[in-house]
Structure 1
Amino acid sequence: MKKSIFKIALLNFCILVLAACSSDKDSTDEVIVDPPTQSDPLTTQNVLTYMVDASATKETQALFYNLKRLGETKTAIGQQDAFNSFYQDAGGYSDIKKNTGFDPAVLGSDFMFITDKNNNEQLNNWFYQQELKIVSDVKAAYAKGIINTFSWHLREPYKEDSFYTADMTADQKSTAFRSILPGGANNEWYKKKLDKVASVISNLKGSNGELIPIIFRPFHEFDGSWFWWGANFCTAEEYKKAYQFTVDYLKNTKGVHNILYAYSPDNSYSTVEDYLTRYPGDKYVDVLGMDNYGDLNSGNDGYNRANAKLKMLSIAAKTRVKIAALTETGYQVTATTPPINNWFSTNLYNVLHDNRTFDLQFNTISYVMFWNNTKDGYYVPNGTVSNASDFKTFAEKSKSALLNSLPKMYEMPK
């Protein structure tokens, strides 16, 4: 016991002082979903013990288990709105598939348009059309074996025009988040938004009528001040209360049991203690995530910081038997911002997988998701741009996983 305590203490100390990146040493790794020697207490039989929802569907249980195990050997690669957001508006396959020949392993979606005040659920309504498209994409992704994750850029409760604080008055910024808490002036408004979310998730079904599991990360990037749920506009306790209310309402009041819940700040935290400042508790979180663009856009020192933060995240997830994920990242290339040489195949890959300073593998990031491409810029290169081969090399490395090397995520291993 003392030896274990000393080892954990040493590991935490190393995170603060060591973050050198190494090259990819392993070229024969295989996806091992249920290794014979497990480094944590999770088994196929006790998986519900470590999940938020004790009534989770069997497919949702399998997703939790398989994501946790996947992170021990590989990181699944995905993109926000991959089926609809293309560089230079080139339609067809996702830009990931155009480049590599394979579908992404993760598809990111958003409840933003689904819960928009202008969505009247009529077929001629643009917002409802977006809802139908998103639902169709999620079902198609699930049918292929892709992992589905949802963010929610929820517009503020007063005019519902924006989720950015830059578009809000000082009074709106200071009261919006508190107003959606139980007893607040906009709590009923918030419950109606959750009713819509619950309705959509409860109707996501596969070909056999089974509910499709999703990862849901409400109130993401909360440590920044750009969203109205940011740290400048609510206390830690108020944030926890809103997150807990959201989970309890969906799980207990609405009876939705096909969700894994993600805690997903931006990149301001570098210690476990700081990271958990607004943590709502193990009973409310399945995925410990982090969004990180800034560190990965600022040179070698930034890569080292990002690597250290993922080590911190991996240790926190290991301790709590949770999934660790880089829930958003990317470097956007535009007409005025050129690519960085080997950004994917060397820089990002080493950020995700460098463990050379440890005698145990602690970088266990189960998935990484890039933001969406646009007509004028891209986070993931298609096959026609100058850094296309860099991404393809990254995707083909031994610890990367597109759909072709993903195990069956919705089936528990025998």
Structure 2
Amino acid sequence: MITRLFSISLGFSMLFSTASAQLTDQKATTATVNLYKNLTRISGKEILFGHQDDMAYGVGWKYKEGRSDIKDLTGEYPAVFGWDVSGLEGDKKENIDGIPFSKMKQYIRNAYDMGAVNTLSWHMDNPLNGKNSWDTTALSVRSILPGGTQHTLYKSWLDKFAVFIRSLKGSDGKGIPILFRPFHENGGHWFWWGAGSCTPQEYKELWVFTIQYLRDRKQLHQLIYVFNPCDFKTEEQYLERYPGDDYADILSFDSYQYGAGPEKGEQFKKEIAGSLAIQHKIAIRTKKLSAIAETGFVEIPDVKWWTKVLAEAIKMDRPSYLLLWRNAGYRETEKDNHYYAPYPGHASAPDFLDWLKNDTILLQQGIRKQLIYK
């Protein structure tokens, strides 16, 4: 154990040196560079806590000024706010979860103004047939690569995304830095960009073209790029679709617990710890940040899940941040309860508060003191 802890400490000192924190975008804005350097400085010491759609809605409420299930429970907002821009490509007024983009812009601005971090994913519609991102029609990725039948359409989608990003300004008038996580969960078989629908080479080509187009053609310099595989057991599997060190800034993965009971909790704990160990090793070598981009346990039926499962899973190779998925509450169409963070009155709330208190987890007030954009 002593050897293991020394190894972790040495790894942190190698990985989390601000002197080595270099973004892939050499023209990144000052605020974006500062954000990355400060996330690097903090990593290994404290973990930023995040929550998807936190200010937009929660269990039993929607679009109430100043509300947040996390804030209602803890007295402060998360340190990281997750959003999804699915719908931009189709000129929709609302995203995939019903959030008007006009409101999302304000929420992103609020998060930036309070010194917190914003991250964006994109459940992009299938460009080959107009269906949603879960349509796994073959050749969809190939169709939007240079020379493909839908390449021009895809560029128009990136143009719309660029307009949206440029519209994100803080109260200080500066462009808001964004952790951008496109084509996520790339090792899975449920998205049209996943392992079941395109080759590793096609995925890499798509990733590289997308970053080059946004960075070089559209001159977007406030994006920090987050790579996101899933379902990997080895370093080779993790890197199978990795586009290269010049096209990713943060390494991340998604992992959820499915099924209740001690055995399921132990299984999840081992999976997270194993995934973090693999990712952490790669992050040290490539001088990238390590994160858990999505995680959680729907409805949290285990009242000690936070301290006995999640905390144990991340204690050896600590991610720079982790983000719980959204609190949609009761969904009429699915006839289920869909939430991943506790709220006042939830049975796991006391344990959640114990975890935050005892495991150096930063929420909004804590991250604000770090002056991450300065």
**TM-score, normalization: structure 2?**
0.88
Q: Identify the range of structure 1 (234-243 vs 82-91) with the bigger mean alpha-carbon deviation.
A: 82-91
Residue matched to 1:313 = 279
**C-alpha displacement of 1:40:** 4.3
Match for residue 70 of structure 1 among 42, 45, 49: 42
CA distance in 2: counterparts of 1:408 and 1:223, whole angstroms:
34
Structure 2 contact 234–278 (Cα < 8 Å) conserved: yes
- Asked if 1:215 is matched to 2:179, the reply is yes
**C-alpha displacement of 1:388:** 1.2
**1:220-239 → structure 2 map (5 Å cutoff):** 220-239=184-203
CA distance in 2: counterparts of 1:274 and 1:69, whole angstroms:
29
Structure 2 contact 326–340 (Cα < 8 Å) conserved: yes
- Asked if 1:133 is matched to 2:87, the reply is no
Structure 2 contact 32–373 (Cα < 8 Å) conserved: no
Structure 1 contact 331–379 (Cα < 8 Å) conserved: yes
Residue matched to 1:347 = 309
User: Unaligned 5+ residue runs, structure 2?
Assistant: 331-336
Residue identity matched to 1:371: W
- Asked if 1:292 is matched to 2:239, the reply is no
Residue matched to 1:388 = 349
Residue identity matched to 1:389: P
SS at match of 1:364: coil
Identify if the C-alpha distance between structure 1 residues 296 and 82 changes in structure 2 by more than 3 Å, giving closer, same or farther: farther
CA distance in 1: counterparts of 2:222 and 2:88, whole angstroms:
18
* Structure showing greater Rg: 1
Residue matched to 1:372 = 326
SS at match of 2:373: coil
**C-alpha displacement of 1:195:** 0.6
- Asked if 1:51 is matched to 2:23, the reply is yes
Structure 1 contact 296–306 (Cα < 8 Å) conserved: no
Residue identity matched to 1:332: V
CA distance in 2: counterparts of 1:65 and 1:77, whole angstroms:
18
- Asked if 1:201 is matched to 2:165, the reply is yes
CA distance in 1: counterparts of 2:168 and 2:182, whole angstroms:
18
Give the total of aligned pairs: 352
CA distance in 1: counterparts of 2:291 and 2:16, whole angstroms:
20
Identify if the C-alpha distance between structure 1 residues 129 and 329 changes in structure 2 by more than 3 Å, giving closer, same or farther: closer
- Asked if 1:303 is matched to 2:269, the reply is yes
- Asked if 1:265 is matched to 2:237, the reply is no
Q: Identify the range of structure 1 (173-182 vs 390-399) with the bigger mean alpha-carbon deviation.
A: 390-399
CA distance in 1: counterparts of 2:199 and 2:279, whole angstroms:
23
Match for residue 329 of structure 1 among 295, 304, 321: 295
- Asked if 1:397 is matched to 2:371, the reply is no
Residue matched to 2:78 = 104
Structure 2 contact 49–321 (Cα < 8 Å) conserved: yes
CA distance in 1: counterparts of 2:268 and 2:16, whole angstroms:
34
Structure 1 contact 60–410 (Cα < 8 Å) conserved: no
Q: What per-residue deviation string (whole Å, max 9, x for no partner) do you get for residues 237-280 of structure 1?
A: 100000000100000000000000000112x1122222011100
Identify if the C-alpha distance between structure 1 residues 250 and 118 changes in structure 2 by more than 3 Å, giving closer, same or farther: closer
Structure 1 contact 295–303 (Cα < 8 Å) conserved: no
Match for residue 177 of structure 1 among 133, 141, 149: 141
CA distance in 1: counterparts of 2:349 and 2:148, whole angstroms:
50
Residue matched to 1:94 = 68
Match for residue 247 of structure 1 among 189, 211, 236: 211
**1:9-48 → structure 2 map (5 Å cutoff):** 38-40=13-15, 42-44=17-19, 47=21
CA distance in 1: counterparts of 2:329 and 2:360, whole angstroms:
30
Residue identity matched to 1:239: Y
CA distance in 1: counterparts of 2:175 and 2:206, whole angstroms:
26
Residue matched to 1:30 = none
Identify if the C-alpha distance between structure 1 residues 129 and 40 changes in structure 2 by more than 3 Å, giving closer, same or farther: closer
**TM-score, normalization: structure 1?**
0.80
- Asked if 1:279 is matched to 2:242, the reply is yes
CA distance in 1: counterparts of 2:252 and 2:341, whole angstroms:
20
Residue matched to 1:408 = 370
**C-alpha displacement of 1:118:** 4.4
Residue identity matched to 1:135: K
